[in-house]
Amino acid sequence: MAYDKMNGDIREEQQKDPKEFLWQGLVGETRVKEPGQLAGNPFQIESCLNCTLVILDQTASITIDDCRDCLIICGPCKGSLFLRDCKNLLILAICQQFRTRDCRHLNAHLFCTTCPTIEETDLEVAPLLLNYCGLQSQMHAAGISPFSNRWNQVHNFTPDSGKCNVRQNLNPRITNSFNSHLIQKLEHFLFNSKNWQFSMGNKRESKLFVAGLGIKKGEGQNGEEEKFLLLIQPPPNENSSESGGGMRFYAESIGITKELINLEGIKLAAMHDIDMKQGEWENIICGKKENNNLKNIIGNKSRKIVALEIYGPKGSQTKIEEICQQKERKATNARLVDSEHMENCRKQLYRLCEIRQSI
């Protein structure tokens, strides 16, 4: 019940139909939830066959049970995306957690901020490059950073069951090697999705990033390429956690990263999104003499840091610095760590990330 101050009467609040948050028993259908229709609520998909099911909105969680021969596309999921008892699915998903149990013939193109976990599942996992209207704001609302992606760090809870098979496909483009029937479903959806400007597999258009693609073992250490460490931080007086601040920070950080990876020969080797707490950096470097010069590189205040490790041809530094120094940006400071301190700074930052992951 709600009280209307304008006319003094009491009116019933309109409650959404629970069926709006459920697709159940569908056969051969195409269903789409457009941006704004779910607005962060949980969603369920149950017992669907031969369908194209698309969620272009943020959700709290998604549960997919007993589905067969379906293409499923899921926008940012703040919590867990859980598949159970499914077979022959092609799934494109952005989520905090990806979990499966008792599934067969899954092909998942993922952007996942934590390690995907499987139980008794046959899975082919691949990176996801994706964009559509409203994706960036949905990711921000769901608390998903475009710079935190562990799609390939799959943890198998049942390695001895004999029912698990995990394969990695490093190609973000979906090819006909999987299932031509589901590929046709995806191609049909892409052809008819112009209203949402939906695209996938294209790094120039994607608002998601995948580190390590196209990098061979030992690359960046052979003397033919240079290695760079780029730090993106809010300006000293800017608080990225304030209303709108984080959104602006990520929008500019995405813009910087896209410009960098579109440079000829530039490769994104690794990326980290770190919420640095006051005093934490000083604790990490532990007052060691060799770390004294690192104090001013990061600073000792609470602030967000996006760290990008980049490989590029010799002579790339000037072009990278030009991108960093563009004056129209108001919510970010981007700068390269000097070569003398880069490796030590990288090690200490990654050490902090490892500590965070182990907690």
Encoded tokens for 358: 């182990």
Residue 209 labelled as part of a binding site: no
Encoded tokens for 4: 């209307």
**Which of these, 319, 323, 343, lies nearest to 333 by C-alpha position?**
323
- List the Cα angle 94/97/103 in 5-degree steps: 90
Residue 99 labelled as part of a binding site: yes
Is the separation of the CB atoms in 215 and 311 below 8 Å?
Answer: yes
Residue 80 labelled as part of a binding site: yes
Residue 275, φ and ψ in degrees, nearest 5:
-95, 100
Is the separation of the CB atoms in 54 and 33 below 8 Å?
Answer: yes
Residue 168 labelled as part of a binding site: no
Return the amino acid letter for 329. Answer: R
Encoded tokens for 70: 């379906």
- 222 exposure class (CB count in 10 Å sphere: 0-12, 13-18, 19+): exposed
Residue 98 labelled as part of a binding site: yes
- Long-range Cβ pairs for the range 181-184 (8 Å, 24+): 181/69, 182/69, 182/70, 182/71, 182/88, 182/89, 182/90, 182/107, 183/90
Specify binding-site residues. 79-80, 96-99
Specify binding-site residues for GTP. 79-80, 96-99
